[in-house]
Amino acid sequence: MIICRCEEVTYNDLAETAKNYTCSARELKLRTRAGMGYCGGRTCRGMVDKMATELNRTKHSQITLKYQPPIRPIRFEDLGGNDQ
């Protein structure tokens, strides 16, 4: 089952990484790239947080992921205002 559809990270990828490294939600995100796609984690952040806390009952797993709105890339000429 795919948890992060932007980065195509599966449930098994997250579970295996959390088990092998006993990592916090932030470290799980950095190791698998879940939540780092175009949507900024709006669809998978909750699942990544939950998996990290349930699979690793350690104190450092209580650190939740930050919220960051998605940003759309634009061209520099659109910012400059140089009309040609």
pLDDT top residue among 24 and 68: 24
| Res 82: pLDDT | 62
Mean of pLDDT over the chain? 80
Question: Can you give the residue ranges of every domain in the chain?
Answer: 2-67
Average pLDDT over every residue of 74-83: 71
Architecture of domain 2-67 in this structure:
Orthogonal Bundle (1.10)
For the stretch 6-27, pLDDT in tens is 999 999 999 999 889 888 888 8
pTM attached to this predicted model: 0.66
Block residue for tokens 């104190």:
59
The Cβ of residue 9 has, within 10 Å, a number of other Cβ atoms equal to 25
Picking from 47, 49, 1, the residue whose alpha carbon sits closest to that of residue 23 is 49
CA distance 72 to 36: 14
| DSSP category for residue 36 | -
For the stretch 28-60, pLDDT in tens is 999 999 988 888 888 888 888 888 888 766 555
